[in-house]
Amino acid sequence: MPSLTLNDYLVFFLYFIVVAGYGYWVYRKKKKETVSASHDFFLAEGSLTWWAIGASLIASNISAEQFIGMSGSGFKMGLAISAYEWMAAATLIIVAVFFIPVYLKNKIYTMPQFLNQRYNGTVAMIMAIFWLMLYVVVNLMSILYLGALAIHGISGLDLTLCIGLLAVFAIFITLGGMKVIGYTDVIQVFFLVLGGLVATYIALNLVAEKSGQTGILNGFKQLTTQANDHFHMIFKKDNENYMDLPGLTVLLGGLWIANLNYWGCNQYITQRALGASLPTARKGILFAAFLKLLMPVIVVLPGIAAYVLYQQGMFQTEMLDSKGIVDVNKAYPSLLNLLPTGLKGLAFAALTAAIVASLAGKSNSIATIFSLDVYKKSINKNADEKKLVQVGKLAVLVSMLLAIVLSLALGEKLMGEGKQGFQYIQEYTGFVSPGIFAMFILGFFWKKTSSNAALFAIIGGFLLSVLFKFLPGLVDLSFLADSGFSKANKDGVFEIPFLDRMGFVFLFSVIGMYIISVIDNRRGIRPNGLEVDSSLFKMNTSFVVGSLIVCAILVALFSVYW
């Protein structure tokens, strides 16, 4: 039975005291300096440095879905799952160059505000509800369940208790506001990276020892030898994991849509940079891009190491779920249980840091959207800043309570029984992301895009995603197999990989938006354009150099592990 020793708990509680104490200090200091209660709570306007923005982006992004879900996908698929992380590094540069300047120039603080300003209140309200549901039902619920599953696997504590404790810790951080979240995230990232590197070091050493050698380099060499099939970034059509990562789609198709939507059109992410100046925001986002390059070392390599060790006879019982099925989500916790006393507590703290930071970031975004874009616009238009902050804090509590209930009721069904938790999150987020991204990208750069076209992207994009999901049950899609756009599942039914579905939905959404906008323009409807000119996209030399270094590293990585 997994458990933590007294020394492990001491290390963990030291971490808790440091984060909580620093957060309280920032909160007290913030109360003395603040000039705008709502902007300070929701945005930390003008107070986050570039390194705090970059650290907060990563701390909020890297959570149980990576440590547990992506590590589990590393166990099953190998290094190819790193495409999400490495493509994100390139995506962050695009967002810093093209998206953030538009938001800051037009004084955009929330994504629904952008939609209201660019289209109309109806589009903004529909998307506000969409985002709130997505954040609670998919993001908060999955992070809570996968995080609690990991904590349970390491500590032996009751799963329900783990869910409750994570929620309480996250609420404590969230109620301090975005400034507290931003600066405590710096500590969280330190523990996250340090603890993650320790786990990777131990895993590689163990692989080396099992082969009669020592050292992490020998361990990595053994990984590439014993699990050679786990070190290819681009899958061929006959690969069993092709449905999850369909070949060149990771470079040319749906993965770009998933990343650009997540990093550029997502309140939860862009919120970190929306209160800063453009140079500060760009530096912070570039810093996050460099950190992204490191993430597969922390979350994917341990999963591959767990696979090699499993093949050698380890974790034969630890990796099984209640039904006797190999649960890939238990790969990372199984590795952490091998750590010596003290280091296990450090890794436990790192994992908790990742989970709590992500929960806090999501909760703050929920509070921001509900307070500023739902409550202020439709329920109480005269609400003052103090009232908005109170409503925001209540939204945090309610959303976390809903996430607890959902994780207890649906967590095992949706992410247990051997399913890949990371893939669950990506697929179900992908039901709305193609339409949202189409609406944003045309809204940015084509002034003729109408509000009716935006409505089509929201509602039509979602319905198209649902149609493509269930299309295999209605139509024989085997004719797409030769082109790689469909593959037979275990029941012999030809399905379209979800990343390809996202690409198709995006294209249809753009075409539909273009046709509707042209018709609206001919009817005399004049859309609301944004202030966009070429001067917004000028970059300073240091940012260009840093971006080129990131791109060069990405080219090298994909070339070596193609």
* pLDDT over 90 (residue 512): yes
Structure letter (DSSP) for residue 340: P
What's CA 367's distance to the chain center, in Å?
18
> Per residue in 278-321, pLDDT tens?
888 898 899 999 989 988 888 888 888 888 888 887 777 766 66
CB < 8 Å & 24+ apart, contacts of 45-48: 45/275, 46/275, 46/276, 46/277, 47/179, 47/182, 47/275, 48/178, 48/179, 48/182, 48/183, 48/272, 48/275, 48/276, 48/280, 48/284
Grouping H, G, I as helix, E, B as strand and the rest as coil, residue 495 is: strand
Could you give the C-alpha distances from 381 to 357, 374, 387, in angstroms and in order?
31, 10, 11
Rounded CA-CA distance 306/315 in Å is: 8
Write down the pLDDT at residue 510.
94
- Contact status, residue 58 vs residue 187, Cβ threshold 8 Å: no
Rounded CA-CA distance 332/5 in Å is: 19
Token match 């209660």: residue? Answer: 37
pLDDT grade for 555, boundaries at 50, 70 and 90: very high
37-423: CATH class: mainly alpha
What residues does each domain of the chain span? 37-423, 430-531
* pLDDT over 80 (residue 423): no
Rounded CA-CA distance 389/375 in Å is: 11
> Per residue in 246-263, pLDDT tens?
878 788 888 898 889 888
* pLDDT over 70 (residue 48): no
Look up residue 480 and give its two tokens.
Answer: 């797409």
Max intra-chain CA distance, the chain: 77
- AA letter at 446: W
Average pLDDT over residues 127-131: 84
pLDDT grade for 271, boundaries at 50, 70 and 90: low
Per-chain mean pLDDT for the chain: 80
The reported pTM is 0.81
pLDDT grade for 414, boundaries at 50, 70 and 90: low
Burial class (CB in 10 A: 0-12, 13-18, 19+), 551: middle
pLDDT grade for 388, boundaries at 50, 70 and 90: confident
> Per residue in 186-198, pLDDT tens?
676 777 777 778 8
CB-based contacts of 443, cutoff 8 Å, min separation 6: 114, 115, 118, 119, 449, 454, 530
> Per residue in 452-497, pLDDT tens?
999 999 889 889 988 888 877 777 777 777 776 777 777 777 788 8
Residue predicted with more confidence, 228 or 323:
228
Rounded CA-CA distance 251/195 in Å is: 31
Could you give the C-alpha distances from 68 to 243, 380, 404, 422, in angstroms and in order?
20, 41, 18, 8
CA angle 359, 52, 343 (to 5 degrees): 65
pLDDT grade for 30, boundaries at 50, 70 and 90: low
CB-based contacts of 253, cutoff 8 Å, min separation 6: 246, 499, 500, 502, 503
Highest mean pLDDT pick, 60-64, 111-115, 272-276, 457-461: 457-461
Lowest mean pLDDT among 400-404, 512-516, 532-536: 532-536
- Contact status, residue 119 vs residue 528, Cβ threshold 8 Å: yes
- The runs of H, that is alpha helices, within 106-177 are 111-118, 121-134, 141-155, 159-174
Residue predicted with more confidence, 445 or 514:
514
Look up residue 294 and give its two tokens.
Answer: 């490191």
- Contact status, residue 352 vs residue 12, Cβ threshold 8 Å: yes
Concatenating the DSSP letter of every residue in 434-458 gives HHHHHHHHHHHH-TT--HHHHHIII
Average pLDDT over residues 199-215: 84
- The runs of H, that is alpha helices, within 383-524 are 385-415, 421-429, 433-445, 451-455, 461-470, 498-522
> Per residue in 156-201, pLDDT tens?
788 888 888 888 888 877 766 555 565 666 676 777 777 778 878 8
